[in-house]
Chains A and B, each alone.
Chain A
Amino acid sequence: MEEVKPQLLKITFDGIEVEVEPGTTIMQAARKIAEADESQGHLVPPAMCYYKPLPVSGGKCRACLVKVTAGSAKDPRPMPKLVPSCITQVQDGMVVENTTNQAVLDTRRGIVEFLLINHPLDCPICDQAGECHLQDFAFEHGSVKTRYEEERRTFDKIDIGPYVQLHMTRCILCYRCVYTADQITDKRVHGVMNRGDASEISTYIEKAIDNDFSGNVIDVCPVGALTDKTFRFKNRVWFSKPEDAHRECDKCCGKVTLWYRGEEVIRVTARKNTWGEVNDFICNTCRFEKKQTSDWVLEGPTKVKRSSVISANKYRKDLIAKPNFALKLAASQFKKIDDSRPYITDPETIRHLSIENNEKANHRSLAARNN
Chain B
Amino acid sequence: MARKILTEHINVPGIETFDVYRRQGGYTAVEKAIKTMTPEEVVEEAKKSGVRGRGGAGFPMGMKWGFLAKPEGVPRYLVCNADESEPGTFKDHHLMKSIPHLLIEGMIISSYALGANKSFIYVRGELMYVIRILEKAIAEAKAQGFLGKNILGSGYDLELVVQPGGGAYICGEETALLESLEGKRGNPRNKPPFPAVKGLYQSPTVVNNVESISNMPWIINNGGDAYAAIGIGRSTGTKLISASGHIQKPGVYEIELGVSVEEFINSDEYCGGIRKGHHLKALVAGGSSVPILPANLIMKTANGEDRLMTYESLSDGGFATGTMLGSGGFIVFDETACIVRNTWNFSRFYHHESCGQCSPCREGTGWMEKVLHRIEHGHGSMHDIDLLVDISKKIEGNTICPLGDAAAWPVASAIRHFRDEFVWHITHPQEATQPGAVYMGEMALV
Q: Tell me, in angstroms, the Cα distance from A147 to B354 when the chains sit together.
A: 22
- Residue contact B360 to A117, C-beta cutoff 8 Å: no
In A152-174, which residues have CB < 8 Å from any B CB?
172-173
A370 interfacial by beta-carbon distance below 8 Å: no
Q: A190 to nearest B CB, angstroms?
A: 13
Q: Tell me, in angstroms, the Cα distance from A322 to B356 when the chains sit together.
A: 31
In A231-281, which residues have CB < 8 Å from any B CB?
none
Please give, as numbers and ranges, the residues of chain A lying within 8 Å of B91 by CB-CB distance. none
B335 interfacial by beta-carbon distance below 8 Å: no
Q: Digitize A81-124: 1 where CB-to-B-CB distance is under 8 Å, 0 elsewhere.
A: 11010010000000000000000001100110111011000000
Q: B260 to nearest A CB, angstroms?
A: 31
- Residue contact B190 to A59, C-beta cutoff 8 Å: yes
Please give, as numbers and ranges, the residues of chain B lying within 8 Å of A115 by CB-CB distance. 359, 363
Select B360's contact among A80, A110, A148, A175, beta carbons within 8 Å.
A110
Q: Tell me, in angstroms, the Cα distance from A59 to B193 when the chains sit together.
A: 13
Please give, as numbers and ranges, the residues of chain B lying within 8 Å of A114 by CB-CB distance. 359-360, 362-364, 367, 394
Select B354's contact among A59, A191, A195, beta carbons within 8 Å.
A195
Q: A56 to nearest B CB, angstroms?
A: 9
B352 interfacial by beta-carbon distance below 8 Å: yes
Q: B322 to nearest A CB, angstroms?
A: 18
- Knowing A62-B359, A87-B190, A115-B359, the reply to whether A196 touches B398 (Cβ < 8 A) is no
- Residue contact A173 to B398, C-beta cutoff 8 Å: no
Please give, as numbers and ranges, the residues of chain B lying within 8 Å of A87 by CB-CB distance. 190
- Residue contact B359 to A172, C-beta cutoff 8 Å: yes
Q: Tell me, in angstroms, the Cα distance from A262 to B356 when the chains sit together.
A: 44
- Residue contact B398 to A197, C-beta cutoff 8 Å: no
- Residue contact A147 to B168, C-beta cutoff 8 Å: no
Q: Digitize A69-89: 1 where CB-to-B-CB distance is under 8 Å, 0 elsewhere.
A: 000000000001110100100
Select A195's contact among B356, B358, B390, beta carbons within 8 Å.
B356
Select A196's contact among B353, B387, B390, beta carbons within 8 Å.
B353
A345 interfacial by beta-carbon distance below 8 Å: no
- Knowing A59-B190, A60-B400, A173-B356, the reply to whether A196 touches B394 (Cβ < 8 A) is no
Q: Could you say which interface size class chain B belongs to?
A: 20 to 34
In B176-205, which residues have CB < 8 Å from any A CB?
185, 190
A331 interfacial by beta-carbon distance below 8 Å: no
In B353-408, which residues have CB < 8 Å from any A CB?
353-367, 370-371, 374, 387, 390, 394, 397-400
- Residue contact B366 to A197, C-beta cutoff 8 Å: yes
Q: Tell me, in angstroms, the Cα distance from A78 to B185 when the chains sit together.
A: 33
- Residue contact B190 to A197, C-beta cutoff 8 Å: no
Please give, as numbers and ranges, the residues of chain A lying within 8 Å of B360 by CB-CB distance. 62, 110-111, 114
- Knowing A195-B353, A197-B365, the reply to whether A82 touches B394 (Cβ < 8 A) is no
Q: Could you say which interface size class chain A belongs to?
A: 35 or more
In A136-153, which residues have CB < 8 Å from any B CB?
147-148, 150
In B63-107, which residues have CB < 8 Å from any A CB?
none
Q: Digitize A36-59: 1 where CB-to-B-CB distance is under 8 Å, 0 elsewhere.
A: 000000000000100000000011
Please give, as numbers and ranges, the residues of chain A lying within 8 Å of B185 by CB-CB distance. 191-192
- Residue contact A198 to B359, C-beta cutoff 8 Å: no
- Knowing A59-B400, A62-B399, A81-B398, the reply to whether A196 touches B358 (Cβ < 8 A) is no
A313 interfacial by beta-carbon distance below 8 Å: no
- Residue contact A194 to B363, C-beta cutoff 8 Å: no
- Knowing A114-B364, A197-B366, the reply to whether A192 touches B398 (Cβ < 8 A) is no
Q: B187 to nearest A CB, angstroms?
A: 9
B417 interfacial by beta-carbon distance below 8 Å: no
Q: Tell me, in angstroms, the Cα distance from A191 to B355 when the chains sit together.
A: 14
Please give, as numbers and ranges, the residues of chain B lying within 8 Å of A196 by CB-CB distance. 351-356, 361-362, 365-366
- Residue contact B362 to A62, C-beta cutoff 8 Å: no
Q: Tell me, in angstroms, the Cα distance from A106 to B390 when the chains sit together.
A: 11
Q: Is the interface of B mostly helix, strand, loop or mixed?
A: helix
Q: Tell me, in angstroms, the Cα distance from A111 to B393 when the chains sit together.
A: 12
A185 interfacial by beta-carbon distance below 8 Å: no
Please give, as numbers and ranges, the residues of chain A lying within 8 Å of B168 by CB-CB distance. 195
Closest chain A residue, CB of each to CB of B365: A196
- Residue contact A82 to B398, C-beta cutoff 8 Å: yes
Please give, as numbers and ranges, the residues of chain B lying within 8 Å of A292 by CB-CB distance. none
Q: Tell me, in angstroms, the Cα distance from A127 to B363 when the chains sit together.
A: 24
Please give, as numbers and ranges, the residues of chain A lying within 8 Å of B355 by CB-CB distance. 195-196, 199
Please give, as numbers and ranges, the residues of chain A lying within 8 Å of B398 by CB-CB distance. 62, 65, 81-82, 107, 110-111
A226 interfacial by beta-carbon distance below 8 Å: no
Q: Tell me, in angstroms, the Cα distance from A175 to B400 when the chains sit together.
A: 15
Q: Tell me, in angstroms, the Cα distance from A183 to B247 when the chains sit together.
A: 55
Closest chain A residue, CB of each to CB of B364: A114
Please give, as numbers and ranges, the residues of chain B lying within 8 Å of A59 by CB-CB distance. 190, 358, 400
In A176-194, which residues have CB < 8 Å from any B CB?
191-192, 194
A309 interfacial by beta-carbon distance below 8 Å: no
Please give, as numbers and ranges, the residues of chain B lying within 8 Å of A110 by CB-CB distance. 360, 390, 394, 398
A61 interfacial by beta-carbon distance below 8 Å: yes
Please give, as numbers and ranges, the residues of chain B lying within 8 Å of A147 by CB-CB distance. 387
Q: Which of B355, B366, B374, B387 has the most CB of A within 10 A?
A: B366
Q: B296 to nearest A CB, angstroms?
A: 30
Closest chain B residue, CB of each to CB of A117: B363
Please give, as numbers and ranges, the residues of chain B lying within 8 Å of A175 by CB-CB distance. 357
Closest chain A residue, CB of each to CB of B356: A199
Q: B363 to nearest A CB, angstroms?
A: 4
In A304-356, which residues have CB < 8 Å from any B CB?
none
Q: Tell me, in angstroms, the Cα distance from A147 to B381 when the chains sit together.
A: 12
- Residue contact B367 to A117, C-beta cutoff 8 Å: yes
Q: Tell me, in angstroms, the Cα distance from A21 to B79 when the chains sit together.
A: 36
Q: B370 to nearest A CB, angstroms?
A: 4
Q: A85 to nearest B CB, angstroms?
A: 12
Closest chain A residue, CB of each to CB of B370: A150
Please give, as numbers and ranges, the residues of chain B lying within 8 Å of A194 by CB-CB distance. 356
- Knowing A59-B400, A150-B370, the reply to whether A197 touches B362 (Cβ < 8 A) is yes
Question: Can you list 25 residue pairs at the A/B interface with Cβ under 8 Å?
Answer: A60-B359, A63-B359, A81-B398, A82-B397, A82-B398, A106-B394, A107-B394, A110-B394, A110-B398, A114-B367, A115-B359, A115-B363, A148-B367, A150-B374, A172-B359, A173-B357, A173-B359, A192-B356, A195-B355, A196-B365, A196-B366, A197-B351, A197-B362, A197-B365, A199-B362
B residues with CB within 8 A of A: 168, 170, 185, 190, 351-367, 370-371, 374, 387, 390, 394, 397-400
**Would you list the 10 A-B pairs with minimal beta carbon distance, nearest first?**
A110-B394, A199-B356, A196-B354, A114-B363, A197-B366, A59-B190, A150-B370, A81-B397, A196-B356, A117-B363
Known: A60-B358, A114-B360. 6 other contacts (CB 8 A): A84-B190, A118-B363, A150-B374, A195-B353, A196-B351, A197-B351
A residues with CB within 8 A of B: 48, 58-63, 65, 80-82, 84, 87, 106-107, 110-111, 113-115, 117-118, 147-148, 150, 172-173, 175, 191-192, 194-199
